[in-house]
Amino acid sequence: MTADLILGKEVSEAIYSNLRERIDVLKAKGIEPCLAVIMVGDDPASLVYVNMKDKKCRELGVKSLQQHVPADTSQEELISMIRKLNDDDSVHGILVQLPLPAHIDQSEVIKAINPAKDVDCFHPFNLGNMVIGEADFLPATPAGIHQMILHYGIATKGKHVVIVGRSNIVGKPLANIMMQKGEGVDATVTVVNSRTERFEDIIRMADILIVAMGRPRFITADMVKEGAVVIDVGTNRIEDPAAKNGYRVVGDVDFEHVKEKASAITPVPGGVGPMTICMLMMNTIKAAEMGVRQ
C-alpha cells in the first residue's frame, strides 16, 4: 500500500479563495487588512520566513508593514514599537518574528502585544482561551494541521493521536486543539518527547502520528502502525552536494519508507509548510473583521 498524499498547497488554496472573498467585503467597507511584522536582527532563516509572509500579503491585497531593526535593539525599544502598533487602529495583526536576540526576553515581548492583534496566538491570554475552546485565534501551524485533517476528512473522533514534540508553538497547542470536543478533533492525545520511556511502543499505537521534533528522518517505518495517518512538521536542512544550494529539506519522518505503511502522509516540502502562512493570513483577516465589530 502506498499512502495518499496530504498536500498543504491544495488545502491552503481552498482557504485562500475564502479569504479573498472576506478581504473584498472588508475593502468594500473601506478597511484594508494590515499585518505588521517586526524583525530584529538578520537571522537568515527568519528573513526567508518574513519575506514569504510579505509576498503572501501582497498577493492577497493585505497591507504588509515591515519593521526591520538591528540585532542590538533594546527590549524597551522593541516594546515601545509594539505599543505604537497596538494603538494604531489601521494595524490589525502584529507579529514579532522569533527567535529574538538573547538579550531580549521573548515572553515579555509577546505579552506586550494586544491579544486582539496577536495573530501568531502566542499571548498567554489567547493560549488560555484556546485551552477552554473559546479562542479567537489559534496558533498557525497547529491550526493548519487541523484544517488539513478537516479538508481530507480524516477520522479523529476517539482516535489515538500521538504528538512527538512539546514546543509552545506546535506540540502543546496542537495537543489542546486535538482534545477539544468538535469536528475534526475529539481525539485521545498522547504527547511524547525524545526522553519518553517506551517511545517507540507509544508511537506504534498512533492512529494519527504528528511529528514536530526537528530531527531529520528520525521516524522510521518500523515505528509506524500499518494504516496510520502521518503528519510531518519537520523542516530540516541536510547537506546534498547535488542540490542547487548544497542542501535539501527533509522532514522528521523517513518519507520514502513510511509512505509504504501509512494510509496518508504529508510530504516535506509541500505538506504542512504552506499551511502556516495560510493560517497567519486567516488570523489577520479575522483580526480585521473583529476590529469592524468593535
Q: Other C-beta atoms within 10 Å of 76: how many?
A: 9
End-to-end Cα spacing for the chain: 52
Measured CA distances, 103 to 73, 99, 108, 149 (Å): 9, 11, 12, 39
Residues 154, 136: Cα–Cα separation, whole Å: 24
Query: What minimum distance in Å lies between the beta carbon of 137 and ligand GUN?
Result: 12
Residues 274, 140: Cα–Cα separation, whole Å: 11
Residues 109, 105: Cα–Cα separation, whole Å: 7
Query: What minimum distance in Å lies between the beta carbon of 45 and ligand GUN?
Result: 8
Which is nearer to ligand GUN, 52 or 202 (by Cβ)? 52
Q: Other C-beta atoms within 10 Å of 197: how many?
A: 7
Binding mask of the shown chain, residues 121 to 160, with x at each position contacting ligand GUN by CB under 6 A = -------------------x--------------------
Residue 4, C-alpha cell as written in the block: 495518499
Which is nearer to ligand GUN, 138 or 258 (by Cβ)? 138
Largest CA distance in the chain: 57
Residues 143, 130: Cα–Cα separation, whole Å: 11
* Contact indicator for 13, 274 with CB cutoff of 8 Å: no
276: burial class by Cβ within 10 Å (0-12, 13-18, 19+)? buried
Query: What minimum distance in Å lies between the beta carbon of 95 and ligand GUN?
Result: 5
Query: What minimum distance in Å lies between the beta carbon of 240 and ligand GUN?
Result: 23
Dihedral (CA of 171, 174, 179, 184) sign: negative
284 counts as binding ligand GUN under rule CB under 6 A? no
User: Does the active-site annotation cover 120?
Assistant: yes
Among 120, 207, 232, 252, which residue sits at the site for ligand GUN (rule: CB under 6 A)? 120
Which is nearer to ligand GUN, 140 or 250 (by Cβ)? 140
Q: Which 166-185 residues touch ligand GUN, going by CB under 6 A?
A: 169
User: Does the active-site annotation cover 24?
Assistant: no
Looking at the DSSP bridge assignments, the partners of residue 34 are 63
Which is nearer to ligand GUN, 140 or 264 (by Cβ)? 140
Query: What minimum distance in Å lies between the beta carbon of 6 and ligand GUN?
Result: 20
Residue 34, classed as helix, strand or coil, is: strand
Which is nearer to ligand GUN, 141 or 266 (by Cβ)? 141
Q: How many residues bind ligand GUN (CB under 6 A)?
A: 7
- Active-site hit among 56, 117, 118, 120: 120
Q: Which 49-108 residues touch ligand GUN, going by CB under 6 A?
A: 95-98
User: Does the active-site annotation cover 54?
Assistant: no
Residues 208, 50: Cα–Cα separation, whole Å: 31
Interacting residues with ligand GUN (CB under 6 A) = 95-98, 120, 140, 169
Q: Which residues form the catalytic set?
A: 53, 97, 120
